Chains A and B, each alone.
Chain A
Amino acid sequence: MSYVKPKFRHPKLPTNSLGYSVADYDGAISTLCAGCGHDSISAAIRNACFKSAIPPHRIAKLSGIGCSSKMPTYFLGRSHGFNSVHGRMPSVATGASLANRELTYIGVSGDGDTASIGMGQFVHLIRRNVNMTYIVANNGCYGLTKGQDSATADLGSVAKGGAVNPFDGIDLASLALLQGASFVARSFSGDKEQLEPLIRAAMAHKGFAFIDVVSPCVTFNNHAGSTKSYAETRAHVDAMQLDFIPMREEIRTQYEAGTSQTVTLHDGSVIHLQKASSDYATDDRAAAMQAIQKAEAEDKILTGLLHLDPNSQDLNQLLNLANKPLNELDKDELCPGSRVLDSINQGLR
């Protein structure tokens, strides 16, 4: 096969600033169940990368195991992907990010993958503030192994077989906040207006950006009685609207005074938040915690950008790593040579 130029593009398809069309961010055809929330998340990721004009090959997609973790096959076909082992994508992503600090890393996981088997790695990923976007497609169950309750299933949620969940669910967004995550958001797979700008903001953030996305499993957890069904989520969601304005782009929309908040990211990008019922400054971790709890008490699911730490330092900075990606260092930069070894020998005599 000789060198082929990038695929022929339909002249009418709009392109981003790099000249890529949205189709250049497509992946393989999804094999998930029709209507699965995860497919909407895939689409949102694709659109976010397209709109933010990130070269597809400069993105690496990582996942664990589960229906959700299959998602990376279905977007960004020109990016390298790694479908690793159940619950342990965080460590693989950490290693990848240490090896090359210049790529954009997107991790996709499930509630089983993150809140159960991968809980240990998840909290440590937060603790290390690895520079990546980490999305949990949260359906309250194990889709791939046929619908068992997951650890995020809400207390009292009724499983398809009729069993009532007797345990308190783990709220991953609260956990991430408590553990000091520098970017915490929650969203709903059915709300692409909110999800897309959130993903764009997450990718622009320097450090660990967590998005918990309620993503209904149509096959095992979308019935009456389930708290993670489409209907139930729609009925209780309390969504902030937000715009993401990348650096160098002008803010055009006029926002009504007092109803909104502007958050500036380290690279100069801006997030414009239209508050829903609660009103607090997103850099205030404790206020974010309170807002989540208040919404919960009112039987609402607060979605949007919950917290952002503008002073975030990512793992590469915390470890004082060289500016050049470690995987590009050559022999001369790595190997001290024979003279040094001779002096080491001398010290051992």
Chain B
Amino acid sequence: MKKIKGVNDFVVKFANVNGTGSASANHLFAKTIFRMGIPVSPRNIFPSNIQGLPTWYEVRVSKNGYLGRRGGVDLMVCVNPQSMEKDVASVDPGGYFLYDSTKPLPTHLKRDDITYIGIPLTQMCMQEFEVPRLQQLLKNVVYVGALAALLNMDLSMVKDLLADQFKGKEKLISSNVQALEIGYQYALENYKCPLAIRLENGNADAPHIAESEHILMNGNTAAALGAIYGGATVAAWYPITPSTSVVDAFSKYAERLRIDPGTGKRNYAIVQAEDELAAIGMVVGANWNGARAFTATSGPGLSLMSEFLGLAYFAEVPVVLINVQRSGPSTGMPTRSQQSDVLAAAYASHGDTKQVLLFPATPRECFDMTVEAFDLSERLQTPVILMSDLDLGMNDWMSPPLEWDDKYEMDRGKVLDAQGLDEAEKWGRYLDVDGDGICFRTLPGTHPDKGAYFTRGSSKNEMAVYSESGEDYVQNVDRLLRKFDTAKTYVPTPKTHPPIEVKKPKTKLKIGTLFFGTSASPSYEAVEILAEEGIPIDTMRIRAFPFHNDLDDFIHDHDLVFVIEQNRDGQMRQLIMNECQIAPDKLTSVLNYSGTPITARAIAGKIRETLNTHSADVVALRPETA
């Protein structure tokens, strides 16, 4: 048997039972690798359940700094008898399978192309600890200890992290350290340590994460901090996975950072609404009244908010909506990731609507783009939807640190105060004086005689007077379209990278890829895999809707463009075709909608396969390496 080898380059997957305390032990494992300066990307793959169902945690270690999923499993740590059969089968040939050997492994689970590592976790914990709860919980820490020996982890770092985690609870620290040590010793005594897959300190100079000093955080926390820094004062929401932790984090930071020092009162309000209709209604009311307000939701919540999104679009009220996408439709797979709200968000609501969307790909972008969403929504007087997803929102990602420019000023857009109203020659709420489609608004309570108007979802003329005249209506919705065009000049531009040099290209075709959000990392990796094989591919990462003109140019400059995304219907592809008048055969979808994030291998495989059908233009390609 040829064993898988690799220093700082492998995938470990943990198979646990939900609600057994495995999450913090697994996090401890990933965080230690992070602290060792090695690029790491951990992912929870969890059921919609509080206790008892199988849950997985996948940790990718990548010396190159690839943070997306690679595909495949090199080491499986299985502490869940329910899923064991499937877990054994999912290990790559040459890989490793660590299991609780208190009970012998059923013979039908024996494969001869993988290495088994038995650690009697249950037995060790029964002997070592008396409290039943600890016997259960510390099993997880014992396997972390064993992994420390097997993978050459820095044991002192693990202990430091434990000490941080249980600060003030000395008893817990000592029992955890004890569990760690017995696991470590057991592995040392019974197996040849370290394995052929192992860790070695430092790789912070890896190409994809070259700027060192990374942080490890999830996108939802980053977005919440964006709301704090962006000056949000009202958050209204209704609990739904995977967006709940946005407001949880906002609440946590606001309690620390937003208390008025003089009075001890709050400079923010959080309302857990009765449903998503009310949540966004509150956000509309607060923004209409001049406060920066936001909501966060997912899946069905977005559908419920769509009526108000139409009102806010048509009545031109700013709204910031953080949409953390999950697998739909309906309740779909609420704890699994997807990018499947693209169309529902872009055209959210009845009638002719187009909404501004931002697509963050890293926690840093979740932070920056949330701040930007507040500025944009006030500048453009329209909803702005941050299109995150479960993978980005709920998993820890290595990210450049968050940065803040103390010179930042909020862009409140075109708002006339009392003086502005007095100085204005003529004011009408929907008069397009600047020709950019954006009119001047006023806030309630501003001026005794001027600036009052009626906000409504019904048609009106430029002076905000109710009107059912077809001309007034057309003039208004055409102006809204002009405004959407103006938005192109404000939203984040797409990102391209210099192409990777390919010495002897095997294809004459000019190939491009388009992707966004969490599809980006594995897409960049796939492009590098293919470059190695002699296929040069250009990339463009879309960061906003409306699309920048560069997107049109990019598509026109290439013979074949792959649109890589995580939904069934190729929604981004459809949106591009719809908005940019692109012939359908120009754009080929690369899709994954299984609920687990797309992998680099899958992307590379699909592109390879497509190119093989263009055989006239492509010299024979190497088959996929496992």
Query: Which A residues lie at the B interface, using CB under 8 A?
Result: 1, 3-4, 6-7, 55-58, 60, 62, 72-73, 77-85, 88, 90-100, 102-103, 120-121, 124, 128, 319-323, 326-327, 329, 331, 333-338, 340-342, 344-345, 348-349
Contact = CB atoms under 8 A, between A and B. Distances in A.
B124 interface: no
A322 B454 contact: no
Given A99-B286, A323-B265, A80 B444 contact: yes
B584 interface: no
Contact of A100 (B289, B408, B458): B289
Contacts of A57: 444-449, 452
B509 interface: no
Given A85-B457, A349-B216, A321 B266 contact: yes
A337 B449 contact: no
A326 B277 contact: no
B289 A336 contact: no
B445 A85 contact: no
Given A80-B443, A94-B271, A99-B288, 6 more contacts: A57-B452, A60-B289, A83-B455, A98-B293, A120-B275, A345-B215
A72 B293 CA distance: 25
A195 B273 CA distance: 32
A92 B403 contact: no
B229 interface: yes
B307 interface: yes
A48 B454 CA distance: 21
Given A90-B278, A345-B401, A99 B234 contact: yes
B229 to A, nearest CB: 5
Interface in B171-220: 213-217
B271 A327 contact: no
B28 interface: no
Residue of A1, A56, A85 contacting most chain B CB atoms (<10 Å):
A85
Contact of A121 (B216, B274, B286, B293): B274
B285 A344 contact: no
Contacts of B269: 98, 319, 321, 326
A80 B453 contact: yes
B284 A92 contact: yes
Contact of A99 (B291, B424, B425): B291
6 contacts: A82-B288, A91-B280, A95-B293, A326-B291, A338-B405, A349-B213
A78 B449 contact: yes
Interface string B224-240: 01001111011010000
Nearest to A338: B404
Contacts of B311: 84-85
A322 B233 CA distance: 11
Nearest to B221: A348
A88 B278 contact: yes
Contacts of B409: 331
A345 B367 CA distance: 12
B500 interface: no
Interface in B302-342: 307-308, 311
A62 B317 CA distance: 15
B422 A3 contact: yes
A80 B445 contact: yes
Contact of A84 (B230, B286, B290, B457): B457
B287 interface: yes
B214 to A, nearest CB: 8
- The 3 lowest CB-CB distance pairs between A and B, nearest first, are A91-B281, A95-B285, A99-B291
Given A84-B284, A341-B229, A121 B277 contact: yes
B89 interface: no
Interface residues of B, number: 76
A337 B406 contact: yes
A88 B285 CA distance: 11
Nearest to B35: A349
B426 A96 contact: no
B285 A82 contact: yes
Contact of A326 (B268, B443, B455): B268
B434 interface: no
A303 B280 CA distance: 35
Given A331-B409, A338-B404, A95 B456 contact: no
Contacts of B466: 73
Contacts of B457: 83-85
Contacts of B455: 80-83
Contacts of A121: 274, 277-278, 281
Given A4-B449, A80-B444, A335 B289 contact: no
Contacts of A340: 257
Interface string B393-429: 0000000011111101110000000000010111000
B427 to A, nearest CB: 8
B107 to A, nearest CB: 46
A82 B443 CA distance: 12
B267 interface: yes
A80 B231 contact: no
A85 B281 CA distance: 9
B425 A1 contact: yes
Contact of B290 (A82, A90, A99, A348): A99
A98 B283 CA distance: 10
Contacts of A84: 281, 284-285, 311, 457
Contact of B282 (A1, A58, A94, A335): A94
B349 to A, nearest CB: 11
Contact of A320 (B214, B266, B278): B266
Contacts of A94: 236, 271, 278, 281-282, 285
Residue of A57, A128, A333 contacting most chain B CB atoms (<10 Å):
A57
A341 B291 contact: no
Nearest to A6: B449
B287 to A, nearest CB: 7
Given A95-B282, A99-B290, A60 B445 contact: yes
B422 to A, nearest CB: 5
Contacts of A333: 260, 267
Given A338-B404, A345-B402, A80 B281 contact: no
A342 B424 CA distance: 43
A100 B452 contact: no
Contacts of B406: 337-338
Contacts of A60: 289, 444-445
Given A80-B452, A329-B267, A335-B229, A91 B410 contact: no
A100 B456 CA distance: 20
A73 B215 contact: no
Given A326-B267, A326-B291, A329-B267, A98 B282 contact: yes
Residue of A80, A93, A124 contacting most chain B CB atoms (<10 Å):
A80
B191 to A, nearest CB: 32
B263 interface: yes
